[in-house]
Structure 1
Amino acid sequence: MIVDAHAHFLPGSYPHDAPECFPRLEPIADSSALLLVFGQMRFPATQVFFEAEKRIEAQEASGVAAEVISPMPPLLRYDLPAADGLALAQHVNDVAAELSAHDPERIIALGMVPMQDPDAAAGELQAIKDRGLAGVEIASNILGRSIGDETFLPFFQEVERLGLAVFVHAMPAPIDRLPMSAMGTYVVGIEGMYSAASLILGGTAAACPDLRVSFSHAAGGFAMSLPRANYFWGGSWNEEPRDPERAVMPDDGPSPLEYARRFYYDSMVFDRRAIRYLVDLLGADRLLVGSDFPAMLREDPIARTLRSMDLPDDQWQDIAHRNAYRWLGR
């Protein structure tokens, strides 16, 4: 049994009276796909983005038992006016609920909130739960501000109180030091690392011990930075006992690695050697299967690289499906 914990959807239409800043869908000549037009973005989206029946067919073809679907990341437009952002989120969440209602066991949906207005975002969480959605997707930064900023702590506390899951998707910051050609590659690694580190350094992980968060693409370069962070915290190599004489940071609680082992990470890192490192450092109980489908093609069959690694059965079962349900609180 395999749960794909990183897949996306799009609404197939938008209200006729929607603000001009809303996305729109345009027909593509000689194609059943539709062109998503949203600001500067132009993205051809196939029917599987919109239709529950097509999703189930794709699951069957790939060997997927269930998908956790979240809004296509470009919908996370925090530069919209707050009221428009809330209206867009509510429409997307209605669509998410409709898709999930087709087969709640196989299509597990996450919603979205207008993080540009943290109070409105927190206020929308109850409605997300009432719709039957499993949680919420947010971007790795909000207009360049880290998600671990204290401004967003009440939002995460409300997520924790309601028992919802959070999926953090890496997104470029408004001002980036790399060219546009790096947006889908290196920026994902940098932004994933920033977002995960900020939850630790900003105090959110300490304040919300029961928060269930997953990061896209294993939070990018986060895992490679953790041994150094742990050294500065504990003054020792190889996670050996803390050496107060060598430690740079005060001992104010769990180590960076201990905090990191509270999070979940999808294992879509494109190389079994990287997955092996994640298993060794963070634990097989922290990893999920992810594909970015249908924005990207799944491995054929799903999780082909993970299957090739000869993992012990208990580790494989954790990564294949059990961790996803733990993250979702199911």
Structure 2
Amino acid sequence: MLVDAHAHLLPRDYPADAPECFPRMEPVDGSSARTLLFGAMRFTARDVFFDAERRIEEQDASGVDVEVLSPMPPLLKYDLPAGDGMSLARHVNEFTATLCATDPSRFKGLGMVPLQDPDAATAELKAVKDQGLHGVEIASNVLGKSIGHEQFLPFFQEVERLGLSVFVHAMPSPSERLPMAAMGTHVVGVEGAFAAGSMISGGTALACPDLRISFSHGAGGFPMVLPRAQYFWGGSWNEEPVDLTRAVMHDDGPSPLELARRFWYDSMVFDRRTIRYLIDLLGADRLLVGSDFPAMLREDPAARTLRGMDLPEADLAAITGENALRWLGIDTPA
């Protein structure tokens, strides 16, 4: 089984009476594609973004059995007024649930919530679950605050209580430290590291031990700095026994590595050497297949790099499918 745990959708249309700050989808002459207009954004969306039949055709062509569908990340626009953000989230969630219902064996949906209003987002989680969605996609920061900020702890506690899953997509934060040309490259590494690191250093990972959360693109640079966090906590190299004479921030709780091994990470890191590092550091049971499809093209066939790494059969089966189902809280089929 091959589960693509990082794939996106866009609604085909938005209500005619929607606020001006809503996205719009305009027809493209002579094409089944549509143009997404959202603030300054102009994006041509192929029909596979919103057409279930076309998505299944593309799955079959690339060897994918199941897609976990989350909103196209620009829809996670937390600078909208809270009420408009809620209206947009409900429209997108309804579309996602409807598309996934066309073939629940091929589509598993994630919704969205207006995290610019954490209380409203928390209250909306039950409605997300009642729609048959498996969880929510969130951005790595909310108006510049990383998701591990204490302000969002009640949200994650409710996610955990309801048995939902979270997918964290790296997104730019308000900053001029990197040029716009880096938004699709270096920002992913920086924001992924901030998001995952904040979940540990901010205490959310400890407070929510059963939270099922995954991070896009291997959580960016987070796995590279994790051994440093481990050294400051335990005073030793290479996960050797704790050396309290060297430790700076030791406590009696789980180590940073133990907490990081509760998360999941998609393996869309573009290089087998990076995947091997992630397996070695975090474990084969922590990785998922991801593609960013259809915003980006999948490998041809999907997971080609993973399949060419001579991984043990059990590890490959875990990464290509079983881990994604565990992250979603779905029983693995025989």
> Do they superpose with TM above 0.5?
yes
Provide the rounded CA distance (Å) in 2 between the counterparts of 1:236 and 1:250.
Answer: 11
Query: What are the within-5 Å matches in structure 2 for residues 212-227 of structure 1?
Result: 212-227=212-227
For 1:115, the aligned partner's letter is L
CA-to-aligned-CA distance 1:53-105 (integer Å, 9 cap, x gap): 11111111110010000000000000000000000000000001001100111
For 2:193, the aligned partner's letter is M
CA-to-aligned-CA distance 1:258-300 (integer Å, 9 cap, x gap): 0000000000000000000000000000000000000000000
Deviates more, 1:168-177 or 1:276-285: 168-177
For 1:171, the aligned partner's letter is M
Residue 128 of structure 1 pairs with residue 128 of structure 2: yes
Give the unaligned 5+ runs of structure 2: none
Provide the rounded CA distance (Å) in 1 between the counterparts of 2:193 and 2:61.
Answer: 33
Residue 315 of structure 1 pairs with residue 315 of structure 2: yes
Aligned to 1:232, what secondary structure does the other structure show?
helix
What TM-score, normalized by structure 1, do the two folds share? 0.99
Give how far 1:175 is off: 1.6
Equivalent residue for 2:250?
250
Give how far 1:27 is off: 2.0
Residue 171 of structure 1 pairs with residue 171 of structure 2: yes
Equivalent residue for 2:328?
328
Equivalent residue for 1:23?
23
Equivalent residue for 1:188?
188
Query: What are the within-5 Å matches in structure 2 for residues 69-218 of structure 1?
Result: 69-218=69-218
Provide the rounded CA distance (Å) in 2 between the counterparts of 1:226 and 1:250.
Answer: 15
Equivalent residue for 2:44?
44
Equivalent residue for 1:305?
305
Give how far 1:252 is off: 4.0
Aligned length: 330
For 1:149, the aligned partner's letter is H
Provide the rounded CA distance (Å) in 2 between the counterparts of 1:248 and 1:127.
Answer: 44
Give how far 1:46 is off: 0.4
CA RMSD of aligned residues (A): 0.6
Give how far 1:176 is off: 3.6
Q: Which runs of 4+ in 1 moved over 6 A?
A: none
Provide the rounded CA distance (Å) in 1 between the counterparts of 2:28 and 2:252.
Answer: 57
Paired residues of 2:147 and 2:195 also in contact (CA < 8 A): yes
Paired residues of 2:232 and 2:250 also in contact (CA < 8 A): no
For 1:272, the aligned partner's letter is R
Provide the rounded CA distance (Å) in 2 between the counterparts of 1:23 and 1:275.
Answer: 36
Deviates more, 1:194-203 or 1:28-37: 28-37
What TM-score, normalized by structure 2, do the two folds share? 0.98
Deviates more, 1:215-224 or 1:252-261: 252-261
Residue 282 of structure 1 pairs with residue 282 of structure 2: yes
Give how far 1:28 is off: 2.2
Percent identity reads 73
Give the unaligned 5+ runs of structure 1: none
For 2:197, the aligned partner's letter is A
Equivalent residue for 1:229?
229
